[in-house]
Structure 1
Amino acid sequence: MKKILIFGLGRSGHGLLDYLAGDYDEILVTDDAPFDADKLSDAYNTKISAYTDGESVDLVLLSPGISPSHPKVLKWLEEGVPLQSEIDFAAEQLPGAVMAISGTNGKSTTTAWCAHILGVPAAGNIGIPLSATLRERALLQWNILEVSSFQLAFSRALHPKLAAILNITQDHLDWHGSLDAYIEAKSRLFASMDESDSLLIGVDSPLLQKMMEGRKHPFVLREFSVQREVEKGAFYKDGGLWLREEKDIFLLDSEELSLQGDHNIANALAAASLAYCAGAKVGNIRRALKDFPGLRHRYEIVASSDGVRFINDSKATNPESTLPALKSAKVPTIVLMGGYDKGIGYDILFAQELPHLKAVVCYGSTAAIVAESAKKYGVERIYRVRDLEEAFDKAFQISAPGDDILLSPASASWDAYSNFEERGDHFRELVGRLNP
């Protein structure tokens, strides 16, 4: 029997333990954070042992947070130890087809929207590891996965039947080391696809277009665009959303979408095209585009107090994902921005016309960088505070009836929180204190 080592005991690591427990006499685990192997053994009713450096193993299963430059990873690569990503391992166990969705921004919403159309559960980077749901997927025709660049960095065998890359902008450069490495990770999404498969790309993204230029590929290429018509795929024209396959199919006017904004038109186009290729009926697509409820932490209207509306957009972990929220603002908006520094700048955000931006309240590790960029582009009201709670208090103090207070950090959460969900929940808790 193979000797398996799981590296990383976050959600994906525990998903792997849940799936493998009972099939192996012993499972080795390791993590940079402290853990109790005895407690894990009791929890999974399987012998789970802490890995000792230098111990011989047949396969290392990597959680998505493990960096390619981690010393252990480099050592295993040098020694020729087989490494496999959690997403690759889990996908190999699936009887049904895989639909995989990636991109810098919009992938969670698009994945959830597509799953809503098809009536199946989504998994992957959306917050539910695929490995944790394998036992529930035996009868599913389609497995819809959100796939991040972290998951793709070690992917060598993922073979989607349908896949989408929505867009590419600079992100996670601290982790990948360079933009080229980030783009290379994204390209692994379609590395194993063949002539019977289809890849959908967002042609409004210059970096994504550049990535695809000159690439020979066996798969069917589809496109989606908010800015122009496409040969095959989905597009936006004269206020309406269209599919173009064997014929043009009008879906609905953009005003009928359950989620508004140009970015959500793009998300809806991608979800509709993928769902149609997966066999969804046009009537079901139309209905689901109208009644999709959206995601928590993604421009989520939490509550109002004293005439001020509070919006939780904690999922916005880079400037490009904050930009749609600010550009679509219709009232004076105070934005709370800051968090972990991923090595990207904020000029692309503040260089835009943002007529309803009332003030920027900066906090966390990126506070100084955000404030400097905002000042550079003429934002007049800039406040620097220590953390999210102080930012919330300052925003409420300077607000007036009719304002929006928007948490859209444009930064990762890791300087103070485990993930963006925890950060968003803290914001919701702060709002709740105003309305006990």
Structure 2
Amino acid sequence: MTLNEYLEQIANKNIAIVGFGLEGKSTYNFLRSHFPDKHIAIFEIKEEVAKNFFEDKKEENITIYSGENYLDDGKEKYNYVFVAPGINYRKISPYFPNAEIVNQAKVFLDLFADRVIGVTGTKGKSTISTLLKLTINEYQDVELVGNIGIPAFDSINSDDGKRLYVFELSSHQLDQVTRSPHIALIVNLHEDHLEYHGTIEAYHNAKKNIYRYQTKNDYLLISNDENSKKILNENVISNLYTYGIKGTERGIFIEGEDIIFVDKGKREVIAKTNLERKILGDFNLENIARILCILKIIGINDLRKALNVIKEFPGLPHRLENVGTFNNITFFNDSISTIPESAMNAINAVKNVGTIIIGGYDKGVSY
């Protein structure tokens, strides 16, 4: 489906946006750029969020529903609803009985799946997605979008038909998609987001959508941990690559001092484990191996420029971020570690940890 075909499909729809955070605002701006006179409804529980956005805009073709019972009014009017990824579409669907409910991830993949590298996993996907964008950018045009905090719709109007996209996909976003990325990477799977999905089975089922709709011309890279292998209980039609299996016919693994890429049984040492890098931890070395595997899959054989990017990459904020030393004590901010597994990885990476400060809210997972 082309962009013009999609716009024709929704031109006569009565459109609403539920949730007016970063992605909701992005959706509004995209719609308004194509339908300057169309009426659009905004459903946002916090009244000031929507009103502040429109405060300096001379906008008449909107209706804002807000407050504690913001979903109770006007809902029967709307038959095409964009929902923010943090809002469970199943819970709001009874309020919009006549509507098709979509999110940005679903629409974006419907339009551009054949040029998308999708990255999901419980932890590590932001670092991998960012490094994929930075390394691929040394060779060709690429944009980073998605759960990293860059709404996918922000890139649609500038698309030239050739650009690649690295799309970081959360389970919330994947929950609604009906088309999978051309290249899919599942970094790892741990128990998480049960406050949204309810059960670990529902969480895994959402993650499966990253490869569920792939074809024989697509690619899937999956890790060798037990939870990741559990979700492969459906037939994988696409070209399957694995991380961490030494006898694999296709994939990447670490053996001694070598990072080895294998394709159709042919082994190639593509990097050394002592490569220069600023990001700490064995788990980040594994992430680098996954990135190099994706680069090989898309046809990048000379990895020297990519390895130089990896060498200089300082890491992302809140992920083993060295925030300074005071009284001979070095402090690391790893506040993105919101599950036990990632916290333990961080402790093992830093070593000689004397004090851990832990907090947060209950996500429904076992500790």
Q: TM-score range by the shorter chain?
A: 0.7 to 0.9
2:203 aligns to what? Answer: 182
2:8 aligns to what? Answer: none
How far apart are residue 159 of structure 1 and its match? 2.8
- Relative to structure 1, is the Cα distance of residues 325 and 143 closer, same or farther in structure 2, using a 3 angstrom cutoff? same
**1:131-146 superposed matches below 5 A:** 131-138=153-160, 140-146=162-168
Any stretches of 5+ residues in structure 2 without a counterpart?
A: 1-11, 66-72
Q: Which amino acid aligns with 2:292?
A: A
Q: Which amino acid aligns with 1:218?
A: I
Q: Is the 8 A contact 1:261 1:328 kept in 2?
A: yes
Instruction: Give TM-score scaled by structure 1 length.
Output: 0.73
How far apart are residue 88 of structure 1 and its match? 1.3
Instruction: Give TM-score scaled by structure 2 length.
Output: 0.86
1:110 aligns to what? Answer: 128
Q: Is the 8 A contact 1:304 1:310 kept in 2?
A: yes
How far apart are residue 169 of structure 1 and its match? 0.9
1:384 aligns to what? Answer: none
Deviation string for 1:218-274 (max 9, x for gaps)?
A: 21111111x644321111111221211253221222221412322112211211111
1:26 aligns to what? Answer: 39
Deviation string for 1:135-194 (max 9, x for gaps)?
A: 3443553100100001112222x3311011111110011111000000001011112211
Aligned mates of 1:108, 1:64 — CA distance in 2 = 16
Q: Is the 8 A contact 2:20 2:50 kept in 1?
A: no
Deviation string for 1:262-301 (max 9, x for gaps)?
A: 2112211211111221222332333333333321211111
**1:298-309 superposed matches below 5 A:** 298-309=319-330
- State the Cα RMSD in Å: 2.1
Pick from 113, 121, 128 the counterpart of residue 143 of structure 2: 121
Pick from 338, 342, 347 the counterpart of residue 359 of structure 2: 338
How far apart are residue 97 of structure 1 and its match? 0.4
Q: Secondary structure at the match of 2:261?
A: strand
Aligned mates of 1:230, 1:67 — CA distance in 2 = 38
Q: Which amino acid aligns with 2:283?
A: H
**1:10-409 superposed matches below 5 A:** 10-24=21-35, 25-35=38-48, 39-41=52-54, 46=59, 47-51=61-65, 52-70=73-91, 72-76=92-96, 79-94=97-112, 97-119=115-137, 120-138=142-160, 140-156=162-178, 158-203=179-224, 205-213=225-233, 215-225=234-244, 228-246=246-264, 247-258=266-277, 259-283=279-303, 284-346=305-367
Equivalent residue pairs, number: 339
Aligned mates of 1:140, 1:42 — CA distance in 2 = 37
- Relative to structure 1, is the Cα distance of residues 327 and 37 closer, same or farther in structure 2, using a 3 angstrom cutoff? closer
2:4 aligns to what? Answer: none
